[in-house]
Amino acid sequence: MASMRSLLAALPIRRFRNPPPLVPVVRLEGVIGRGRTGRGQGLSLADMAGQIQKAFAIDDAPAVALIINSPGGSPVQSALIARRIRDLAEEKQKPVLAFVEDVAASGGYWLACAADEIFADNSSIVGSIGVIAATFGLSDLIDRWGIERRVYTAGDRKLILDPFQPEKEADVARVKDLQQRIHQDFIAHVRSRRSDKLTGAPEHLFNGDIWVGQEAQDLGLIDGIGHLRPILRERFGDKVKMKVFGPQRGLLRRFGLMDSAAIGQAAIGGALASMEERALWQRYGL
């Protein structure tokens, strides 16, 4: 027994007493919204809630980092994810650092504002604090081909902005009113998170424009130019460790186990989502 105690006492246990700091990193990448299967997996609270919870559950972590690469998407899912991050940051009393990769625009910037500090590359695209809706007008096309469309509704506003009918001023006015309400929520979120840092005039900051690198910093939209590893090493030491958390696919999708009907539906939905997603990324030259 005495020899065992001597052996344990001689073990180099000091290195385990002060382990290097571990910073959890939550990757928020892709178009924000449910059920997207294009260039990358979409972002929603349902997909990310567990990963965000795990990141904040690391008690000894000195901070939580976010990697953001998103052209935007659903304003509701943007708000839900950002709110969950803020709730956990306040509950766990942990600072949050965001690092922008290619783009944090529209809903992507909404997510970035959940952090206490935002860093970006000199060429990162930041901003687009606005709201957009897009559709097509096909009424002339179906008339030319002699196609008769039959739609039956209960409620005279159910066909608002129907692409197969001529555009109506009342429909456009209603959609713009809805957009203004969402835009004001977006502005309020940015101001609540960065009010003491913003330097640009409101009509300049909140008109949907985008900026890169130093210009975004000058306007107070970001806090500095920098990347994940160098900033974390500067803050927490050269030996800092990182653990990345990201969205997880369902078990059946992960192993390719889907029935033929599900595969067909996924293929059709994926093609449509891919076109929509590609348009969002290409808006920023990506």
Residue 45 belongs to some domain of the structure: yes
pLDDT surpassing 90 at residue 244? yes
Residue 221 and residue 190: Cα distance in Å, rounded? Answer: 9
Residue 182 belongs to some domain of the structure: no
**Cβ-Cβ contacts under 8 Å for 216 (sequence gap 6 or more):** 120, 124, 126, 127, 222
Residue 4 belongs to some domain of the structure: no
Residue 276 belongs to some domain of the structure: yes
Residue 46 belongs to some domain of the structure: yes
Q: What's the pLDDT score for residue 262?
A: 41
Residue 94 belongs to domain spanning: 19-129+194-282
Q: Provide the residue type at 159 as one letter.
A: L
Residue 55 belongs to some domain of the structure: yes
For residue 271, what are its two tokens? 């093609």
Q: Which range is least confidently modeled, 28-32, 92-96, 281-285?
A: 281-285
What CATH code is carried by the domain that includes residue 49?
3.90.226.10
Residue 11 belongs to some domain of the structure: no
pLDDT tens column, 111-166 = 999 999 999 999 999 999 988 767 666 666 666 777 777 777 777 777 777 777 77
Residue 118 belongs to some domain of the structure: yes
Number of domains in the chain: 1
Residue 137 and residue 159: Cα distance in Å, rounded? Answer: 13
Residue 86 and residue 99: Cα distance in Å, rounded? Answer: 16
- Listed residue (164, 172, 180) closest to 130, CA to CA: 180
pLDDT tens column, 169-178 = 887 888 888 8
